């Protein structure tokens, strides 16, 4: 299995034109691909994608599985005449790696959607690493529906994983890049299901076992929070549904709670925590106005004024979520996960988690014992501390089951 490490960004058409010259991208090459799945979407549910793609005059079939937001496992073989042939795939290796028996899909696979795009690439040398920059322009096609493709992919070809994030950060502000974890396959499935926009993304608990190493668990939990934050930030910019903003805030609070729970493993998280604190006021104000307006009787004279303030707060939140600073923060968090030399901790996660939960619980009790219960701000601060404890319980639940 090959491991593909890449970061994907959305960008505006003008920025794409600047990228061509700034990155010295080569001539355009055409790509055409058909994605397959079963009628009940067995591959999608397993977070895998299967395609047959024509690259120049060669047909290749590729199966991808998700390892982390910035890494995917990949198996690729020839597909003569563009025909899917699972017999050419290393089914035993795939089953051992993913637990998925691809042989069981024989005879059930059907085309779901297509991609047609042109790609311009360049090899970039950065800090001892080699990164391939690829600009894709084209379309996703599902029956009669189409959705444009315009994205910049940065794939690490050689070097330390942290170098990829560092190079990506250098491009975010100049090109107005917006980090996205949504693959072409995920977008294609959404298009095929007639959904205009992905639904607000709730937190997906990573599969943590009692014997998972604490450092590995931390990386998985941070990644889950970043994916949730990024996906819902796109929703905030494209929709008026208040649930997207709510889920962005949930993701960032979960990230903060994770850093608190793992402070014994990763004591160098203070810069990330500072950035999280700086995001809270603007996003929190927008959420407060959403909740306040939704609770008002519709016929009251206060509604019009409240909606004006709500719209102002929403615009401020959108400015934050589309800013280079926000997307640099997401990439910086990924880089931190990749590069941090975790402090030594007991190899199994279960005893580590038990101690972390005990510490968080003790602090919550100490906080509760010293507050003025008549003070709304102090009650709110305690509520936040208890909520972080609940998030930590959610995160560690799998290692105690």
Q: Hey, which CATH number is domain 214-399, 3.40.1370.10, 1.40.20.10, 1.20.1270.10, 3.40.50.2300?
A: 1.40.20.10
Residue-level pLDDT at 347: 66
Structure-derived torsion over alpha carbons of residues 212, 218, 219, 221, reported in degrees to the nearest 10: 100
- Strand (E) or helix (H) holding 380: helix 376-396
Q: What are phi and psi of 209, to 5 degrees?
A: -105, 170
Q: How far apart are the first and last CA of the chain?
A: 31
pLDDT of residue 216: 85
Q: Topology of 2-192 in CATH?
A: Hypothetical Protein Pfu-838710-001 (2.40.320)
pLDDT recorded at residue 207: 84
Predicted confidence at residue 194, as pLDDT, reads: 87
Domain spans of the chain?
2-192, 214-399
Per-residue burial over 1-38, b if 16 or more Cβ lie within 10 Å, else e, is beebbbbbbbbeeebbeebeeebebeeeeebebbbbbb
Structure tokens of 126?
Answer: 């950065």
Task: Please tell me the pTM assigned to this model.
Answer: 0.89
Over residues 313-346, the pLDDT tens digits come to 999 999 999 999 999 999 999 888 877 665 555 5
Stretches where the chain sits below pLDDT 50 are none
Going 24 to 30 to 32 to 33, the CA torsion angle's sign is: negative
């Amino acid at each position: 299995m090959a491991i593909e490490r890449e970061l994907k960004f959305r960008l505006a058409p003008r920025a794409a034109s600047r990228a061509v010259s700034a990155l010295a991208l080569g001539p355009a090459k055409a790509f055409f691909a058909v994605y397959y799945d079963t009628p009940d979407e067995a591959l999608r549910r397993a977070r895998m994608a299967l395609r047959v793609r024509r690259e120049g005059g060669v047909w290749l079939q590729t199966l991808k599985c998700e390892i982390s937001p910035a890494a995917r496992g990949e198996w690729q073989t020839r597909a003569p005449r563009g025909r899917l042939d699972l017999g050419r795939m290393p089914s035993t290796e795939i089953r051992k790696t993913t637990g998925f028996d691809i042989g069981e899909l024989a005879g059930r696979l059907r085309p779901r959607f297509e991609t047609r795009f042109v790609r311009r690439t360049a090899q970039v040398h950065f800090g001892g690493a080699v990164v391939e920059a690829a600009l894709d322009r084209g379309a996703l096609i599902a029956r009669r529906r189409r959705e444009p493709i315009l994205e910049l992919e940065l794939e690490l070809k050689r070097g330390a994983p942290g170098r990829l994030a560092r190079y990506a950060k250098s491009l975010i502000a100049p090109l107005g890049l917006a980090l996205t974890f949504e693959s072409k396959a995920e977008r294609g499935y959404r298009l095929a299901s007639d959904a205009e926009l992905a639904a607000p993304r709730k937190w997906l608990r990573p599969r943590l076992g009692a014997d998972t190493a604490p450092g590995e668990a931390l990386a998985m939990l941070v990644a889950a929070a970043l994916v949730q934050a990024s996906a819902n930030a796109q929703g905030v910019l494209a929709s008026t549904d208040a649930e997207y903003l709510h889920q962005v805030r949930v993701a960032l609070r979960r990230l903060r709670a994770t850093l608190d729970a793992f402070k014994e493993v990763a004591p160098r998280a203070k810069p990330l925590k500072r950035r999280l604190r700086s995001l809270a006021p603007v996003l929190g104000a927008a959420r407060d106005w959403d909740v306040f307006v939704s609770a008002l009787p519709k016929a009251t004279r206060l509604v019009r004024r409240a909606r004006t303030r709500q719209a102002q707060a929403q615009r401020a939140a959108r400015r934050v979520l589309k800013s280079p600073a926000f997307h640099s923060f997401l990439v910086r968090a990924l880089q931190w996960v990749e590069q941090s030399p975790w402090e030594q901790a007991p190899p199994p996660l279960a005893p580590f988690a038990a101690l972390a939960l005990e510490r968080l619980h003790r602090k919550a009790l100490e906080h509760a014992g010293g507050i003025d219960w008549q003070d709304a701000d102090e009650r709110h601060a305690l509520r936040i501390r208890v909520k972080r404890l609940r998030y930590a319980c959610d995160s560690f639940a799998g290692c105690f089951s």
